[in-house]
Amino acid sequence: MAGTQLSSSGPAGGDGSAPTAVISPSEELPAPDEGELATLRQIGRRWASVLIDDPERFTRLPVNPALGRFSLEPAPTRFGRFARILMFRPGERGELVATEQATEESTRSGRALAALKRAIVGPPLASSAVVQERMRKLVALAVLSSDVLSSVAYGPEAMLTALVAAGSGALSLSLPLGGALVLLMIAVGMSYRQTIRAYPNGAGSYIVASDNLGEVPGLCAAIGLMFDYVLTVSVSIAAGVAAITSALPEWRPLAVPMGLLVIAVLLAGNLRGVRQAGNLFAAPSYAFMLAMYVLIAVALAQAAQRGFSPVPPPPIAPTEALSAMLILRAFASGASSMTGIEAVSNAIPAFHPPEWRNARTTLSWMVVLLVTMFSGLTLSIHLNGLVPSADETVLSQLAHRTFGPGPLYGYVQATTAVILLLAANTAFNDFPRLLYYMARQQHAPRIFLRMGDRLAFSNGILMLAVTAAAIFTIFKGQTESLIPLYAVGVFLAFTLSQVGMVVHWWRRRQEHWRLSLFFNALGGGLSAVVLLTAAVTKFTEGAWIVVIGIPLLVWTCLRIRDHYRRIQRVTALHEVVDVAGKGIVPARPNVARRELEESPDEIRHLLVTPIAQMNLPALRALAYAASLGQPVLAVHLSPEEEEARRFRRQWQIWGNHLPLEVLVSPYRAVVPPLVHYLRALRAQRPNLVLTVIIPEIVVRSFWQRLLHSQLGDRLRRTLRLQRATVVTTVPFHLPE
């Protein structure tokens, strides 16, 4: 698999440095390995033998593919006259670089949609700006901890709701259970610190489990986290809406529309990019932290005035006997306060350098904040004798009893509602990034590799928003209905991640490995207890959806992987040899003759051929084009200069048999720059008929078609209004 490897042995040496993967737009275009380059060189020699009589046969072009790079002379288009330099400028190594104007759509409807998108999302960022789209520790702490810190608003209440089933007397167990949960928080937090040190490239539980336990456990961890992130959005917004309706009961009928509106706001904010979204959503997190610490301090001060004697809770008749299973269920419910603790380990590349060190520091502060806030709230609730109510959240009751109905109560409720609503922002940061890593390992569709206009993983963000909105609507925004689905997925990921780290330390036995192994083993054991308890006790309450859904999604991911591997195997360049002057033949007997059609003497006939990468479909399209006996121009669009240099090297290894023009599209648009380029070519020779030949992989199933680029369809729709331009495809059919 091309691209930076996701696993890493962590910081090597005593300087504490560690290599961190840089997420780049070029990941969407995998580089060939050395074997493929050697085969490409062989095929190029075959082309040379075909062209030996007329080596310039395909290089005599009727137009200047460089468009007169340094000429500012206006050229006519359907938009009037414009200077070529506005659409393309010279690159560092002779490439044509598409400007921001070249990314604009040419159709009226396309321009209207682009204007609307720009108004919501903002202007596109160049690929080179990816290194600037990082977060400082203060911003990252607010953004990535908003989920885990906001969960203290409903975690203690979820624990009390389970205990109160055994009557008000069982509420005294909230303190020992809270102590056990604090131990779990510290153990898991320390475990993820070890994960960041060992795997500084991000992807967290998915890569840890995959690297140490195998592909299927890794996918189980990834799917568990995906459930967690989707439910984080649904549960956080449901809890935030509940906080609002606790203070304003007349708004309860509007709970679902309010939640959907918040999802839409979060969607728009995150589509604007990591850095801008972080700056936008950081302030409410710190306002909530201040509110919680003020509330805890005042509540404990009031309790100190009465000697810390707890207020007796109101008498509640038990509905079931106090049992070990009920206690475990309460423990598992309270553990919902930990959801989101893994967020930092998944988002390491989003930090400023040194990424892994800043991530560990941020995680440490997150755990300290979580432990102190959860402990303080649990103790304050116990000392005030509060019990869950259908009409008002426990946190609202505590704030009301502590501050009365004054402005401080309003401040606590307002900041709680906002942080609960914005806690979903953590999922919007990590869910698309997780899908990116899965797509890079061929476990998810490749569309999740693509960065949007603002260098955010727009497709993953959209998928999260749509899925979470659907779940929120189906469950009518009820927190108690959603929480049973919550714990299974996230604690499955916790458990597999910690077990994977135990295996990691046992295998590598690096410095201090025993202490690291202890923390991971402790975190894994406690997480497993929560996982089993939640799966058993909450199965009939809705957890069955996650228990059944995880295997189904793992199976789907494996099918996607098999499809992509088949595509990779079939389209890869195969070694060929010349046998006793009889021409080129497969070096391996199982390579069919049809796979040799990437040589021009195998066909008869071509013109402008967009090429993404040098594989069998691309070479077959070039061969078809060359066989037409007409001048041929290959065009490659690259998202950045580095990928352009890499492609030119492949082209030179192949033999440089055709003219090649590389267009750098730093805003990652594909169709608009290509269309503008074709129009500029025709502007030089208005009587020229352009034939655009596109290599296309043809699949049978509709679901498989969704896994591939629809470039051909998009080009046909855009170019059909342009005169003297023909678009055709060279299909590459998968074997039966």
Q: CA 181, CA 512: separation in Å to the nearest integer?
A: 26
Handedness of CA 240, 243, 248, 249 (dihedral sign): positive
Give the per-residue pLDDT at 374. 92
E strand segments, 467-523: none
Instruction: Compute the C-alpha angle 416/182/166, nearest 5°.
Output: 80
Any alpha helices (H) in 347-423, and if so which ranges? 355-383, 394-403, 407-422
Residue whose entry in the numeric block shows the structure tokens 């906002």: 418
Give the per-residue pLDDT at 300. 93
Tokens at 546, concatenated: 């996650």
What is the per-residue pLDDT across 48-99, written as a single tens digit (0 to 9) for each?
A: 877 777 777 777 777 777 776 444 445 454 444 444 446 777 777 777 777 7
Q: Which residues pair with 77 in a beta bridge?
A: 80
Q: CA 689, CA 566: separation in Å to the nearest integer?
A: 37
Give the per-residue pLDDT at 337. 76
User: 304-340: buried (b, 16+ CB within 10 Å) or exposed (e) per residue?
Assistant: eeeeeebeebeebeeeeeeeeebbbbbbbbbbbbbbb
Residue whose entry in the numeric block shows the structure tokens 């069919």: 592
What is the per-residue pLDDT across 99-141, written as a single tens digit (0 to 9) for each?
A: 777 777 766 777 777 777 777 777 776 766 666 667 778 888 8
Give the per-residue pLDDT at 635. 93
Higher pLDDT, 257 or 47: 257
Report the candidate in 64, 103, 76, 70 with the shortest Cα–Cα distance to residue 87: 103
Here the contacts of 308-311 (C-beta below 8 Å, separation 24 or greater) are 308/383, 310/382, 310/383, 310/384, 310/385, 311/383, 311/384, 311/385
What is the per-residue pLDDT across 245-256, written as a single tens digit (0 to 9) for each?
A: 777 788 888 888
% of the chain at pLDDT higher than 70:
84
Burial class (CB in 10 A: 0-12, 13-18, 19+), 544: middle
Higher pLDDT, 170 or 481: 170
pTM of the model: 0.74
Report the candidate in 359, 286, 433, 425 with the shortest Cα–Cα distance to residue 136: 359
CA dist list (Å): 641 to 86, 95, 276, 292, 636: 19, 9, 25, 49, 12
Q: CA 523, CA 191: separation in Å to the nearest integer?
A: 7
Report the candidate in 347, 363, 337 with the shortest Cα–Cα distance to residue 429: 347
- For the chain, the average pLDDT equals 79
127-562 architecture in CATH? Answer: Up-down Bundle (1.20)
Q: Is the pLDDT of residue 14 over 50?
A: no
User: 395-405: buried (b, 16+ CB within 10 Å) or exposed (e) per residue?
Assistant: bbbbbbbbbee
Q: Is the pLDDT of residue 542 over 80?
A: no
Strands 584-586 and 576-578: antiparallel
Tell me, what DSSP letter sits at residue 94? S
Report the candidate in 626, 682, 629 with the shortest Cα–Cα distance to residue 62: 682
Q: Which of 169-173, 298-302, 368-372 has the lowest mean pLDDT?
A: 169-173
Higher pLDDT, 340 or 731: 731
For residue 554, name the pLDDT band (cuts at 50, 70, 90).
very high
CA dist list (Å): 43 to 39, 294, 527: 6, 72, 55
- In sequence order, what DSSP letters do the residues of 571-584 get, joined into one string? HS---EEE-TTS-E
Q: Is the pLDDT of residue 594 over 60?
A: no
- In sequence order, what DSSP letters do the residues of 636-704 get, joined into one string? EEESSHHHHHHHHHHHHHHT--S-EEEEE-TT---HHHHHHHHHHHHHH-TTPPEEEEEEEEE-SSHHH
Q: What is the average pLDDT across 323-345?
A: 81
Q: Which of 201-205, 288-292, 543-547, 653-657 has the lowest mean pLDDT?
A: 201-205
What is the per-residue pLDDT across 476-520, written as a single tens digit (0 to 9) for each?
A: 777 666 666 667 788 888 889 889 888 988 988 877 788 888 888
Give the per-residue pLDDT at 353. 80
Q: What is the average pLDDT across 658-668?
A: 89
Q: CA 282, CA 264: separation in Å to the nearest integer?
A: 18
Q: Is the pLDDT of residue 301 over 90?
A: yes
Count the Cβ atoms, other than its own, within 10 Å of residue 389: 13
Q: What is the average pLDDT across 441-468?
A: 86
Tell me, what DSSP letter sits at residue 193? H
Q: Which residues pair with 636 in a beta bridge?
A: 662
Instruction: Compute the C-alpha angle 697/702/703, nearest 5°.
Output: 95
Strands 608-610 and 74-77: unpaired
Q: Is the pLDDT of residue 727 over 80?
A: yes
Q: What is the average pLDDT across 568-590?
A: 56
Q: Which residues pair with 584 in a beta bridge?
A: 578
For residue 9, name the pLDDT band (cuts at 50, 70, 90).
very low
Q: CA 333, CA 337: separation in Å to the nearest integer?
A: 8
Q: Is the pLDDT of residue 732 over 90?
A: no
Higher pLDDT, 491 or 465: 465
What is the per-residue pLDDT across 620-648, written as a single tens digit (0 to 9) for each?
A: 999 988 888 788 999 998 888 888 989 99
For residue 296, name the pLDDT band (cuts at 50, 70, 90).
very high
Looking at the chain, the domain(s) classified CATH 1.20.1740.10 span 127-562
Tokens at 109, concatenated: 């409807």
Q: Which of 89-93, 453-457, 536-540, 594-598 has the lowest mean pLDDT?
A: 594-598
What residues have CB less than 8 Å from 64, skipping those under 6 apart? 684
Q: CA 713, CA 708: separation in Å to the nearest integer?
A: 12
Q: CA 650, CA 629: separation in Å to the nearest integer?
A: 24
Q: Is the pLDDT of residue 168 over 70?
A: yes
Q: What is the average pLDDT across 375-380?
A: 92
Tokens at 638, concatenated: 């690259």
Tokens at 641, concatenated: 């200069």
Residue whose entry in the numeric block shows the structure tokens 């259908």: 390
585: three-class secondary structure by DSSP: strand
C-beta of residue 604 within 8 angstroms of C-beta of residue 628: yes
Burial class (CB in 10 A: 0-12, 13-18, 19+), 585: middle
Residue type, 265: V
Give the per-residue pLDDT at 203. 62
Q: CA 545, CA 520: separation in Å to the nearest integer?
A: 28
Query: Can you give 608-643 as a three-state secondary structure string?
Result: EEECCCCCHHHHHHHHHHHCCCCCCEEEEEECCHHH
Any alpha helices (H) in 108-251, and if so which ranges? 108-121, 137-144, 146-150, 155-163, 174-198, 204-213, 215-247
C-beta of residue 612 within 8 angstroms of C-beta of residue 697: no
